[in-house]
């Protein structure tokens, strides 16, 4: 018998439990590494269903090919973690679930013992992440919900919030924009539940650069920011539509500037620039939501197609089984008729 290809395991059944029937009578064997194996063999190699118990108490029950776990199986580690799912060459590979000793759990795709692809991870405090993984880290599109119900929906890189994303706080505050190393960084829109809104630039999690701040009563500031405060030149609009140009320092107005002191197009340029940002981010957000919904719909459609195929396969098997049973019944009936005819002829 040649070496089997683990990626083409014939035995893909979820029923990986070893049946201790009378005909098989497997006997425990002590291996060179001190582990004990009970199960099926082929050419002096573990092949088929089997259970192995290591010296430290770790236990694997499942399918084997060429002395390696391959197919479906369950590992109970001596340190308390449990994995059940698919294996390849003695590694987590395919769909599987890992439950850690601390109660955290990952359910999803694996490649060579690493979280890779789509998965769902939960923690004891109620936190949850659902999205993409690469090399054991959150990377790509995902949704993270914290224990306090804070929520982030966007891009991840090396387990960090990075790229485009929307973060919603428990009190209703929301930031939609760019992230870097878990901090708001770049262009974004920050809204408060009472109606306040900031549209502009961030650096290391705070307002910095050019931005617009709007109050619920209609007043607003358009201009420069530093360390989270108005700093530099800006335009202030009152609730009744009046505007004043001035200079700010550390959040405090230093002086008003007469219109002739600065370029008359200053306000118009700044306002147009940042309202364009608002429109762009709203369009990006809507597009991202549409793409995400499209992916979900495609996944549901593929799942339905797969389910329909499985149902068709099962129905075909049932039909063939019924045909076989009818054939057996007909043969049995014909046999009885022939036997009766022979008896009549002999008389």
Q: 262-276 pLDDT, tens per residue? A: 454 555 565 566 666
Q: Any idea what the CATH number is for the domain that residue 270 is in?
A: 2.20.110.10
pLDDT at 1 over 50: no
Greater pLDDT, 294 or 106: 106
Please check whether residue 33 lies inside any domain of the structure: no
Where residue 10 falls among pLDDT bands split at 50, 70, 90?
very low
Query: Quick one: which of 89, 126, 90, 95 has its CA closest to 109?
Result: 95
pLDDT at 6 over 50: no
Please check whether residue 172 lies inside any domain of the structure: yes
Give dist(CA 210, CA 266) in Å, integer. 12
CA atoms within 13 A on the CB side of 201: 13
Mean pLDDT score across all residues of the chain: 82
Burial classification of residue 50, based on how many CB atoms lie within 10 Å of its CB (0-12 exposed, 13-18 middle, 19 or more buried)? buried
Please check whether residue 160 lies inside any domain of the structure: yes
Q: H-helix or E-strand containing 195?
A: none
pLDDT at site 125: 96
Please check whether residue 181 lies inside any domain of the structure: yes
Domain containing residue 209:
148-292
Per-residue CA distances from 98 to 14, 180, 307 (Å): 16, 30, 26
pLDDT at site 18: 59
Please check whether residue 110 lies inside any domain of the structure: no
Which residues 6+ apart lie within 8 Å of 257 measured at CB? 233, 245, 246, 247
Express each pLDDT in 33-79 by its tens digit: 999 999 999 988 999 999 999 999 999 999 999 999 999 999 999 99
Do 223 and 267 contact (CB within 8 A), yes or no? no
CB atoms under 10 Å from CB of 63, counted, come to: 26
Poorest-pLDDT segment among 14-23, 125-134, 193-202 = 14-23
Poorest-pLDDT segment among 138-142, 214-218, 258-262 = 258-262
Which residues 6+ apart lie within 8 Å of 315 measured at CB? none
Please check whether residue 193 lies inside any domain of the structure: yes
Number of domains in the chain: 1
pLDDT at site 201: 97
Where residue 11 falls among pLDDT bands split at 50, 70, 90?
very low
Per-residue pLDDT averaged across 315-332, rounded?
A: 53
């Amino acid at each position: 018998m040649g070496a089997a290809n683990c990626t083409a395991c014939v035995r893909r059944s979820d029923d990986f439990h070893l049946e201790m029937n009378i005909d098989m009578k497997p006997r425990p064997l002590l291996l060179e590494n001190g582990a004990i194996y009970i199960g099926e063999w082929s050419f002096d190699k573990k092949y088929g269903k089997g259970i192995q118990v290591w010296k430290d108490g770790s236990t694997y029950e499942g399918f084997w090919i060429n002395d390696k776990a391959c197919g479906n199986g369950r590992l109970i580690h001596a340190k308390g973690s449990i994995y059940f799912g698919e294996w390849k060459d003695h590694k987590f590979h395919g769909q599987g679930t890992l439950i850690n000793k601390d109660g955290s759990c990952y359910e999803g795709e694996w490649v060579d013992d690493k979280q890779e692809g789509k998965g769902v991870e939960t923690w004891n405090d109620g936190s949850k992440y659902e999205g993409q993984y690469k090399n054991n880290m959150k990377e790509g599109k995902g949704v993270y919900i914290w224990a306090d119900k804070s929520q982030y929906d966007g891009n991840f890189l090396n387990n960090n919030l990075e790229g485009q994303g929307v973060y919603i706080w428990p009190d209703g505050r929301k930031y939609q924009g760019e992230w870097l190393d878990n901090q708001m960084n770049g262009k974004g829109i920050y809204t408060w539940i009472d109606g306040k809104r900031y549209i502009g630039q961030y650096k290391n999690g705070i307002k910095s650069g050019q931005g617009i701040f709007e109050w619920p009563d209609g007043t607003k500031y358009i201009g420069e920011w530093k360390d989270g405060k108005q700093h530099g030149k800006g335009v202030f609009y009152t609730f009744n539509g009046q505007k004043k140009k001035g200079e700010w320092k550390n959040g405090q107005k230093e002086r008003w500037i007469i219109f002739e002191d600065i370029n008359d197009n200053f306000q118009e340029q700044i306002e147009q620039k940042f309202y364009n940002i608002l429109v762009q981010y709203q369009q990006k957000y809507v597009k991202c939501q549409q793409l995400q919904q499209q992916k979900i719909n495609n996944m549901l459609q593929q799942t339905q197609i797969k389910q329909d195929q499985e149902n068709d396969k099962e129905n075909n098997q049932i039909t063939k089984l019924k045909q076989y049973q009818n054939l057996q019944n007909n043969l049995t009936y014909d046999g009885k008729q022939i036997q009766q005819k022979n008896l009549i002829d002999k008389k």
